[in-house]
A and B are shown apart, each in its own frame.
Chain A
Amino acid sequence: MKEKEFVLTDEPCETIDIKKLEKLDKETRFIVRSEFRTGMSLTVIYFLFVLSVPVMNWFKPDWAFTKLVGGMSASWFLTTIIAMVMAFVIAFVHTKLYERWERKVETIMHSSGNEEKKVETATASAITEKEKETVV
């Protein structure tokens, strides 16, 4: 699994037809997918909020700019206060989720005896756990 490392060079290298490209190894595939899934889920939530603001402003202006407390309307509140909190919360949750996942992998790594297969075993276990969770 660890025979080769990516070399940082801009010297030309061989190319391969995308159709003939081997699948990613199980471990990397799992990491990429889980990382992307987490990022994408949070992005979808974030963008539902982000896009709701201009949609509301232009298609429901009466509702968006009706004053609720003092001069504060839903749109002013969402745009100038909630949006700033959301930007931070989404990034914070992402980092926390990633750290938790990393700790989980690390714990399993330490409990594994075989140095060579540490990462592979850890990820395999994490994959199994994930599959179990999905089944449950």
Chain B
Amino acid sequence: MQILLDPKYLFTILLLGTIVWITYLSKRNESASDFFVGGRQFGWFTNGSAIAGDYLSAATFLGLAGLTFAIGYDGAFYTFSFSIGLTLLALFVAGPLRRLGAYTVADFVAYRFHSKRARVIAVIVVLAISGFYAAPQLLGAASILSMFFGTSYEIGILFTSLVMIFYVGVGGMKGTTLNQALELWIRLGAFIVMVAAAIYGGFHYQKILAVISDFSGTIANTGAFTADGKDIVFSGEKWYQVGLFNPNFWHSLSMVIGLALGVIGLPHILLRFYTNPNAKAARKSAVMSIGIASLFFGLAVYLGVVGRAIFLEGNASAEVMKNLVTGGDNMVVPSIATALGGQWLLGFVIAGAFAAIFSNLSGLFIASSGAIAHDLYAKFSKKELTEKQRVRAGKWAIVGLGVFYGILGLLVKTASIGHLVALAFTVGASTFAPIFILGIWWRGITEKGAIAGLVMGLLASLFMIFFSGVLPEALQFRVPGIITVPIGFLSVYIVSKLDGKVPADVNLFMRKVHAKEGAS
């Protein structure tokens, strides 16, 4: 009973209880449409909330404020780059994608070119992106459980995987969407309360920016927590300007390209537009999610600046100062919460962090289970599967993914969350973004061109992330979009031009995805 009086346990148990309740209420998934796209019944408000919930992962909830705290303006610029992609998605992809009326991301590629080969390659890319995205989410969940609840890293991974298998396996897309929508408002609520507490405490944006930028010297009360026992030296001027993360203009540009176009290639975000009843609702969902995400990004930067101001004052409790010195970027938001609102606000923020992780992971689970059960098993099975068999295949795929992602989570114990997420964005920007943009708007794209784009985009991204060390320094980028995205687009364009053989029904496809609903 005593444990329930601890806010972090109380809020976490409330969150888990709500997930179980929503999942139980939405457990009836009789058809594949129910399971994979929630029966295409979600209006713009619910789906807009769920898209934002899908997009604003642990890396966003904990990471962006942490980055702004650590690297100042470059952290804010990172956030700015993240904010661009959803708008491009709304402008060029959301409506046409919904009009196609498919189930999965690979469906688009397969139907557009009438190609099973393209479907298989698209599935590989979906699994690659989802794997790189899911591993850091599990890492984040296990770290939070370890830091605040004292569990081991391995138990944290096991617990999160089991919650996800239940959550997505039982609830399908219906339960996932409703849970994601609710979880979005929990974490947004946590940020709003934190910002309100900061303003109430006198941390006004332009005022604290001035204090930070004018600061130069050592930060009081930090020496007790550093390895050499000396207070940390800080230059406000450097923090306030560009250069702490991106060393030159080209790195900034590469970040914009990679992160902005990366959103268009994220399978769990693309999939969400299939759950709307029509293209109009899909567009409105996109606008709604952009509004929420923009507000969220703005608040994240603000909180990063507030964290830096609290740290420079040096008056926070020893626990907060210790966490800000030794806890890394991901401990900044929980530390600010403790400093501003004590254990109750910390409890709310921990629930928000879990909400972010569960929400994002569930989107990845449902996208990948569709890729395995619908795109591989159902499409390549020799016999015609019934709706129930397809749903059952989806559920087994989720169990398999729980194990697979769990193993990946164990392998990345010491990796950087931000780096892995950036990798997922880079792969998405270089593979699916060219295929979706050109596939929707250009009749000249061919099957060979699409396959070349997917393969070259994937290989180029993996090379730039893992082996870019062999290249000259000028070609090494933290977010290598400036190199990999043109490779993806040019591969599609050049091979399509050389091939020249487009599907004979491409005009019907254009009519299907562009004409007003009911017209085709």
Contacts and interface: CB of A to CB of B under 8 A. Distances in A.
Interface of A: 2, 4-19, 21-22, 24-25, 27-28, 31-32, 35-36, 39, 42-43, 46, 50-51, 53-55, 57-59, 61, 65, 67, 69-73, 75-76, 79-81, 83-85, 87-88, 90-92, 94-95, 98-99, 102, 105-106, 119
Given A105-B516, A119-B519, A13 B503 contact: yes
B508 A6 contact: yes
Contacts of A6: 505, 508-509, 511-512, 520
B418 interface: no
Contact of A54 (B115, B253, B507): B253
Interface string B82-120: 011011101110010000111000010011001110110
B287 A92 contact: yes
A59 B242 CA distance: 11
Residue of A12, A15, A55 with most partner-chain B CB within 10 A = A15
Given A10-B115, A24-B510, A50 B84 contact: yes
Given A8-B107, A90-B87, A99-B280, A72 B209 contact: yes
Given A13-B114, A16-B504, A91 B90 contact: yes
Chain B, interface SS category: helix
B209 A10 contact: no
Contact of B283 (A18, A31, A73, A95): A95
A79 B76 contact: yes
A10 B91 contact: no
A36 B502 contact: no
A71 B512 contact: no
A87 B76 CA distance: 15
A72 B301 CA distance: 13
Contacts of B293: 87
B191 interface: no
A39 B91 contact: yes
Chain A, interface SS category: helix
B28 interface: no
A91 B91 contact: yes
Interface stretch (B10-18, B144-152, B210-218, B464-472): B210-218
Given A80-B298, A91-B86, A106-B516, 13 more contacts: A6-B511, A13-B505, A17-B500, A19-B500, A21-B443, A39-B92, A53-B80, A58-B242, A70-B206, A76-B73, A79-B80, A88-B87, A94-B91
Contact of A43 (B88, B116, B207, B297): B88
B507 A25 contact: yes
Contact of B114 (A9, A81, A88, A105): A9
Contact of A31 (B86, B92, B516): B516
B515 interface: yes
Contacts of B87: 46, 87-88, 90-91
A124 to B, nearest CB: 13
B379 interface: yes
A43 B298 CA distance: 21
B267 to A, nearest CB: 17
A78 B452 CA distance: 38
B514 interface: yes
A72 B206 contact: yes
B381 interface: no
A32 B514 contact: yes
Given A80-B79, A87-B294, A65 B102 contact: no
B256 interface: yes
A8 B509 CA distance: 9
Contacts of A8: 100-102, 107, 111
9 contacts: A10-B110, A13-B505, A25-B507, A58-B248, A71-B208, A71-B211, A79-B76, A91-B91, A95-B90
A36 B100 CA distance: 17
A119 B517 CA distance: 10
A57 B515 contact: no
B504 A14 contact: yes
Contact of B256 (A36, A50, A95): A50
B403 to A, nearest CB: 29
